[in-house]
Amino acid sequence: MLSDRSAATVRATLPVVGAAVGDITERFYDRLFAAHPELLRDLFNRGNQASGAQRRALAGSIAAFATHLVEHPDDRPDVLLSRIAHKHASLGIAPEQYETVREHLFAAIAEVLGDAVTPEVAAAWDEVYWLMANALVAIEARLYAERGIAAGADALRAWEVVERVEETADVATFRLRPADGGPAPAFRAGQYVSVQVELADGARQIRQYSLTGAPAADVRQISVKRVRGTGADGGPGAAAPDGEVSTYLHAHVRAGDRLRVSAPYGDLVLDDAVLSGGPGGGLDGGAPDAGALDGGGPGGGAPAPLLLASAGIGVTPMIAMLEQLADAGHAGPVTVVHADRSPAAHALRAEHLAGTGRLPGATAHFWYEDPEPGHPADRTGRVDLTGLPVAPSTHAYLCGPLPFMKAVRSQLLAKGVAPAAIHYEVFGPDLWLASPSSSGPVGEATMSSTVTGSRAA
């Protein structure tokens, strides 16, 4: 909890800091990478740094955390902390790195705000920083301990590619197993892994990809969409390069090759208590209760209706969720929604249909911009939930482009679904949760979500 004196100072200076936070984060990253170029080369996503997306996400997170502290002094913004901690754990962030960040962040604050940073102001914002940093260190320590990893140790291990499958023109699936012959670590449907590759310039870039196979399988699999550059051919928008890691994986990685992969992380997971009809549910990504998915958990009631809504490569966590539900014999109502350009562009379409077909209470509804003969769409245009069986008690899981998720979330709220029952994942720096806009889910501290970096870049 923020001290009363610091809370008053932070409240008074939030408008000034908020107005300058974009300049502060830009100067912060410039200082950090000048002092530690290895962080940009081997840890941070260079594409997100070049586009400014990560800088905007950091700025929004700082403002959101400070705002929450002064407006809700008796609790923490657990959603924000949980998603950041899972991402950090997948990258192997160590506690001592928070001191490095603080050094350059507060130097940037002083440079941008100048004389406005009095000792009292500096002390108040230092308290904000360490409240956030210490909370993250504690969550990350628990995540490392659950996976038997020492804080600060190498979070990645070698995995062998045992098979590569071309799903669409731009999506490939890589099936992996630990290169040392050991067991694949357990994961929960909806979680992701960090994957590191060494690029031509020697940089070891890391991206996160959802696990798309069944949690009980011996082999793990990821499905990677190749990110193609935009604007360079005269099209709309500023030119952007091809995604570095996704392009490398598509161009160079075949069966027999090795990748460095993290343990699974992420808190966009099916809530056992909700599925079993029991109360509540956690954000910790821990092991599920045996039998909870089939109604045999501690709640003992009927499972809540589920909605699994995705667009584009956002289908990947939904495939694993369908597998988990089917393997558990889930019999409750499940509405599956997906939007894509065409059936040919719909990655894992066969698995999407098969997973839905294994659930007696599930129905699938696909939207395609360009339907194909033999594969008609249920509907064309934007996803419209009108007419679909969405009860107010529904728990929804969303993954896809941000405009898609915003539109679906708005429709769910209009149907009476509780904000805390709408769970989502952003494939990239989360510019939604960290936004101070009232239209976003800021402050809904029980909403499950995860920030995962750029999955396909």
Nearest to residue 383, comparing CAs of 337, 346, 418, 348? Answer: 337
Query: CA 282 → CA 20, 78, 267, 274, 420, distances in Å?
Result: 35, 11, 9, 10, 12
Convert the pLDDT of each residue in 321-347 to its tens digit: 999 999 999 999 999 999 999 999 999
| pLDDT at residue 340, rounded to an integer | 96
pLDDT of residue 230: 73
Q: Which member of 127, 140, 244, 351 is catalytic?
A: 140
Which of 197-206, 303-312, 419-428 is predicted least confidently? 419-428
The per-residue pLDDT for 273 is: 67
Pick from 347, 292, 341, 342: nearest CA to 316: 347
Per-residue confidence band for 280, with pLDDT thresholds at 50, 70 and 90: very low
For residue 167, what pLDDT is reported? 98
Beta bridge partners of 172: 166, 224
Residue 62 has pLDDT above 70, yes or no: yes
Mean pLDDT of 420-435: 70
Position 218 scores a pLDDT of: 82
Catalytic pick from 98, 144, 192, 424? Answer: 98
For residue 368, what pLDDT is reported?
Answer: 94
Predicted pLDDT at 241: 79
Each residue's pLDDT tens digit, 367-421: 999 887 777 667 888 899 999 989 999 999 999 999 999 999 999 999 999 999 9
pLDDT at 76 over 90: no
What is the chain's mean pLDDT, rounded?
86
Backbone dihedral angles phi then psi of residue 434, each to the nearest 5 degrees: -80, -5
pLDDT digits (tens, 9 = 90+) for 97-155: 999 999 999 999 999 999 999 999 999 999 999 999 999 999 999 999 999 998 878 99
| pLDDT score of 239 | 59
Give the pLDDT of residue 433: 53
pTM: 0.88
135-148: pLDDT as tens digits:
999 999 999 999 99
Query: Domains in the chain, ordered, with CATH?
Result: 4-146 (1.10.490.10), 156-262 (2.40.30.10), 272-426 (3.40.50.80)
Q: How confident is the model at residue 276 (pLDDT cuts 50, 70, 90)?
A: low
Is 372 considered catalytic here?
no
Least confident of 88-92, 101-105, 217-221, 320-324: 217-221
In whole angstroms, give the CA distance from residue 67 to residue 57.
15
How many beta carbons lie within 10 A of that of residue 12, not counting itself?
12
Structure tokens at 34: 């000048």
| Greatest CA separation for the chain | 70
More confident residue, 107 or 55: 107
Return the pLDDT at 274: 65
pLDDT computed for residue 349 by the predictor: 96
Query: Is 111 designated active site?
Result: no
Residue 426: beta bridge partners? 451
Token pair, residue 136, equals: 């993250």
Looking at the chain, the whole-number percentage of residues with pLDDT higher than 70 is 84
